[in-house]
Structure 1
Amino acid sequence: MNRVDDGPPLAELLDERRHLVALAHRMLGSADDAESAVDECYRRWYALSDRERERIPVPLTWLSAGVDRICRVRRALPQPEGAAHAVRPTVPDTIVARPRTPEPTTLRQHDAVVHAVRRALLAADADLLLPLLAPDATAFFDGGGKIRTLVAPVHGRDRVARGLLSLLDRSPHTTLAAHSVNGRTGLVVRHGRRVVAVLSLDVSGAEAVGVWVVVNLDKLRSWNAGHRP
């Protein structure tokens, strides 16, 4: 199922960011400065064109080298007080219209589809997942520029299934549970006790027509502080 354009597993992406933050922390000696340096490196990653990113065989190597350069520059050029934490441009959220739901869907139908999608993802079974997705289903991935996830929306039942199964490739400490998300039943992914992704689904009849995957660390802070959006 896995292909280059399906994106790497979420556990791998989280390990990648932890590695980069640890590298920056060793060089800068400050947790806040380390996070800032890593965010800057990811902004440079997303500033590349799709073709440029595709030509990078090992993204972690490129990102590690980028963090190293950023940290060296910051150490060599002391910034004025407050500059290290100044607000910098971020990768803007993609603004898209939610797919229309031409077929009325009851709360019971919605919940049934969400729970069925959960079972398919837990089983990592494409044959179970595909019939739950509309042929023209679309998945949107919001990483907020702070984690290396897919940039463009993914269209079509097959690609959405591959993208979700790749992203949620199970690790021993990962759980997937149904929770209320924005007033409707959605899915929450935890790695250990920490929420690392939240999924909401647009359902039409017995199929999901849209899947919204939030892995943006900023947007997950409320979940990890014990608050539910």
Structure 2
Amino acid sequence: MDHADSVPVAELLDERRHLLEVTYWMLGSSREAESVVGETYRRWYGLSEAERGEIPTPRHWLAKTAGGLCLVLLAHPHRGATGQRDQKEEHHTKTGDAEEAQAGLAKEVSRVLLNALDSLSPAERAAFVLNDVFGMASGTVADIVGRPESECVELADRARHSIRRQRSHSTPPDEHDLLARTVRQACVNEDAELLESLLCPDATAFFDGGGKVRALSRPVHGSRQVAHSLLTLLARHPRTTLTSQSVNGRTGLIARYDHQVAAVVSLDIADHQVAQVWVVLNPDKLRSWNQLPTQGDPGSPGRPSQRGDGRL
């Protein structure tokens, strides 16, 4: 008996669904995703029983193999900007697993975001998808992409900025500031209706926990879902405050628990509404925000905002 493949059926189905989701996000096509997952399993069973038995985490091996196959496809010169994506393909997938995965993803991901991913280089797309969409640790991402960890962090960062530029129109600072402060007020008052009205219908929220805190690992799509996620994250608590403060040169939101920065929220605005929400919860990335300000350094990221304070 091959003990490497002796696992519960629920785990097998979850593993396959996970691979389909990863490959779909990387390729933007359920047909290509199905093909890559099939080839991944063919390579797995191409190993000897002894070789499979020596692999400590089969799911990681499968994800790494599938990721490598995706990178080869993405780099193909004749693939085109959108690969083999078919607008009707979600209704014609060959297996129940692929159809279920596609249907679930369709509820979470807008075609706008998939199109934005098409503008990234293969390595940028892979790093962004694995890090931001699936919340994989940077070391795991580096292993799959086949590049140094520091380079993968930079690739994901570059992809993030590229996507933000595509959705973010030139918004006057005063308008951005007013909208950000109104978002803060809606969160403080737990006003779901107001908050939803401030968001684009196809708004997307990204939650970067870095695998260090229990946060949403995939983007949330749609104004109602984004509003609900933000209100849940920033739920009223006597020791929690939400302030408006400069984040990356534009007004954003800072959530503190006691005096410690627990979340930094930046907003991208398009057509007078919030198009994208970026929530940093990773303690490593928040370290600079929690450093004590140096005397005479008003620009220190750890300095509390002097305006817009509001206890949740």
Q: CA deviation at 1:91?
A: 5.9
165, 177, 198: which is aligned to 2:243? 177
Task: Say if 2:290 is the partner of 1:224.
Answer: yes
> 1:216 and 1:105, CA in 2 relative to 1: closer, same or farther beyond 3 A?
same
SS in 1 for 2:164: coil
State the partner residue of 1:190. Answer: 256
Aligned Cα root-mean-square deviation (Å): 2.4
Aligned equivalents of 2:237, 2:267: Cα separation in 1: 23
Is 2:180 the partner of 1:114? yes
The answer as to 2:278 corresponding to 1:205 is: no
Cα separation, 2, equivalents of 1:206 and 1:175: 26
* In 2, Cα distance between equivalents of 1:139 and 1:217: 19
Q: Give a deviation string over 1:27-82, Cα, whole Å, max 9, x none.
A: xxxxxxxxxxxxxxxxx9xx8x9xxxxxxxxxxxxxxxxxxxxxxxxxxxxxxxxx
Q: 1:158 aligns with which of 218, 224, 228?
A: 224
Is this contact kept in 1: 2:202–2:275, CA < 8 A? Answer: yes
Within 5 Å, give how 1:129-140 maps onto structure 2. Answer: 129-140=195-206
Task: Report which of the two has the higher share of strand.
Answer: 1
Query: Given residue 239 of structure 2, which amino acid in structure 1 is its aligned partner?
Result: H
In the alignment, what sits opposite 2:17? none
Q: Which runs of 5 or more structure 2 residues have no equivalent in the other structure?
A: 1-56, 64-136, 142-152, 293-299, 303-312
CA distance in 2, matches of 1:118, 1:215: 17
Q: Mark the runs of 5 or more structure 1 residues left unpaired by the alignment.
A: 1-43, 50-87
The higher-RCO structure (CA 8 Å, 6+ apart) is 1
2:241–2:257 Cα contact (<8 Å) kept:
yes
Aligned pair in 2 of structure 1 residues 172, 90: CA closer, same or farther (>3 Å)?
A: farther
* Distance in structure 1 (CA, Å) of the matches to 2:266 and 2:205: 10
TM-score, normalising length from structure 2? 0.43
Contact 2:168 2:275 in 1 (8 A): no
Deviation at 1:100, TM superposition (A): 2.6
> Structure 1 residues 103, 198: CA separation in 2 closer, same or farther (over 3 Å shift)?
closer
- CA distance 1:102–1:166, change in 2 (3 Å): closer
Equivalent position to 1:145, from 201, 211, 215: 211
**Residues 146-200 of structure 1: CA distance to partner in whole angstroms, max 9, x if unpaired?**
0010111111111111110111112110000011111111100000000000000
Distance 1:228 1:103 in 2: 26
Equivalent pairs, count = 145
CA distance in 2, matches of 1:116, 1:102: 18
Match of 1:105 among 171, 192, 207: 171
Equivalent position amino acid for 1:152 in 2: R
TM-score normalized by the length of structure 1: 0.58
From the two aligned structures, give the one with the greater helix fraction: 2
Matched residues, percent identical? 48
Secondary structure in 1 matching 2:225: helix
Q: Distance in 1 between matches of 2:184 and 2:171?
A: 18
Compared CA separation, residues 89 and 153, structure 1 to 2 (3 A): closer
